[in-house]
Amino acid sequence: MHGLFRLPDLADLPGVASVDSPDQQHLSATYLDTVDLRLVRAGITLRRRTGGIDSGWHLKLPRPLPPVTQAHRGSGPAPELSRDELRMPLDSSAGPMAPVELVDLVQGWTRGTPLIEVATLDTERTAHRLRDDTGTGLAEVVDDSVSVVDQGRVAVRFRELEVELLAPAESPSYPTAARVRTEVVERLVQAGAIPGGLGSKLARALGPRALAGPEIPGPRPVAPHDPAALVVAELITRQTSALLRWDLGVRRGSEDAVHQMRVAARRLRSGLRAFPRLIDDEWALAREAELAWLAGELGPARDAEVLLDRLVSAAAALGEPESTLASALVGKRLGEAGDRHAAAARASVRDPRYLAMLDALVVASGDPPTTAAAAGPAAAVLPRLVAHAWQSLAKQVARLGPKAPDEQWHRARIQAKRARYAVDAVAEVFGDPARELATGLARITDVLGEHQDAVVAAETCRELAASPRVGGRTGFALGRLHAGQRAAAQSARQELVRVWPEVSRPRLRQWMG
């Protein structure tokens, strides 16, 4: 936007009854990032702003956060959530240092690399608020004259116009506000304004380095004739991206985040094991060990959550007074254990061991440690490796007779997940039959997962019933719960017998050769 541009009259636009007197503000924002700009390249900004009505620390994230199930459990005050932006007040005692709560939230991206001041933007802002005939704010036209300050001197100046909606999407005035915004933009362009396309103020201030793209590449399609190395690279990239995506949720105690992060760790570990000789052995073994450790740290929290929900739901069907007695005991014992495990899960993402593992995976997503064998076409190299995972599962299922012990069913469940994740990793390469097989294997893992959950729940009921001072009606209620869970396990066994022939049809595996 050139400096001589003059804002046109906006009061005569349809739906606009009045325009407030200009509101002028002086704003100063200092942005923090790593030296290689990891945050801004990922669409994240961390800044300290003074002036205006929103002075304080702002952390803007690239997408809305998952819902938080409970109050923020970290130390210190909770960041305030506003869509995809977290805010905290300025703390005079902390000086220019960012609040530890916000620094912690971006650790998955920084991974111990120090945050430094990368840019200071001084802005002279003039805001024009447009209202309807009821006085409701519809949109605001913000006219910013920005100075990029470098070591106390103005290095660059530019001018920028923004048109911001004021009406929430669910409000009655939203359709009018959206239409007004479109008409305002058209009026500005007609007056000589140049449509944006140069990115955020910070990106303009930092230049080409800010536009280099995130550390982890985006998804890339892989064709059968492409090198198998690309499938390995896509596996590492996708699951590392998933780890990083859910890292933030785990730190904040967000719903389902622990489960999703554990799934990503297991998918990546299974994929590394499914593709031997395509990945450097030493690197793969080290990552498998670290991923197993992470899944182990996250597992108890997820397992406790599933177990508690399962038994509380089952207790609700018992009828009184057994329902209340069983729910009270189960809620108390398993709730306390769940809180401990959840705290341990949050601690794991702050462990230097986890950060080092994540750092190695991010590096590998850009430079996968593949071997010469991975240079062959995916269609020639991958089928036999996936077939091996399938054959191991088929052998496990063949051993699952009616009298097979629970431990053997659990081993089959583990192998089913490995086969499922291996097929998932190549499904887009081999098309519909592979995708259909992946869907079928998901059904198998669901059935075997139901069996394992029922077995663990039944054993938990037995252990609770054997606890000191548990007897009478409470012990009777736990006995009923135990019987119900053993019946659920038996039902899962019967379901596998029904589902397995559908999933194991040879037609779905022809692509394996």
271 to each of 231, 236, 246, 374, 420, how far by Cα in Å? 10, 9, 19, 14, 10
Query: Is 79 in the same domain as 113?
Result: yes
| Average pLDDT over all residues of the chain | 88
Query: Is 161 in the same domain as 293?
Result: no
Q: Could you tell me if 226 and 377 are in contact, meaning their C-beta atoms sit under 8 angstroms apart?
A: yes
Whose structure tokens read 């739906």? Answer: 15
Question: Which structural domain range is residue 299 located in?
Answer: 228-512
- Residues 348-384 pLDDT 10s: 999 999 999 999 999 999 999 999 999 999 999 999 9
Looking at residue 447, what is its pLDDT?
A: 97
Most confident region among 61-70, 156-165, 483-492 by mean pLDDT: 483-492
Q: DSSP letters along 25-36, please?
A: EEEEEEEEE-TT
Query: Is 188 in the same domain as 266?
Result: no
- Residues 284-322 pLDDT 10s: 999 999 999 999 999 999 899 899 999 999 988 888 888
Task: Give the end of a domain, one of 184, 211, 238.
Answer: 211
Phi, psi angle pair for 456, to nearest 5°: -65, -40
Query: Is 336 in the same domain as 472?
Result: yes
Looking at residue 74, what is its pLDDT?
A: 38
Beta bridge partners of 377: 227
Query: Is 252 in the same domain as 161?
Result: no
Q: Which of 229, 242, 245, 470 is nearest to 369 (CA)?
A: 229
The total of structural domains in the chain comes to: 2
Report the amino acid identity of residue 204.
R
Cα(421)–Cα(416) distance, integer angstroms: 9
Query: Is 128 in the same domain as 34?
Result: yes
Looking at residue 81, what is its pLDDT?
A: 35
**pLDDT-based confidence at residue 61 (cuts at 50, 70, 90):** confident
Cα(175)–Cα(167) distance, integer angstroms: 9
Query: Is 237 in the same domain as 109?
Result: no
Between 66 and 206, where is the model more confident?
206
CATH number, domain of 279, equals 1.40.20.10
Q: Is position 202 within any domain?
A: yes
Between 217 and 377, where is the model more confident?
377
Query: Is 279 in the same domain as 373?
Result: yes
Task: Give the end of a domain, one of 146, 178, 211.
Answer: 211
Q: Is position 448 within any domain?
A: yes
Query: Is 206 in the same domain as 252?
Result: no
Element (H, E) at 513: none
Q: What is the pTM of this model?
A: 0.82
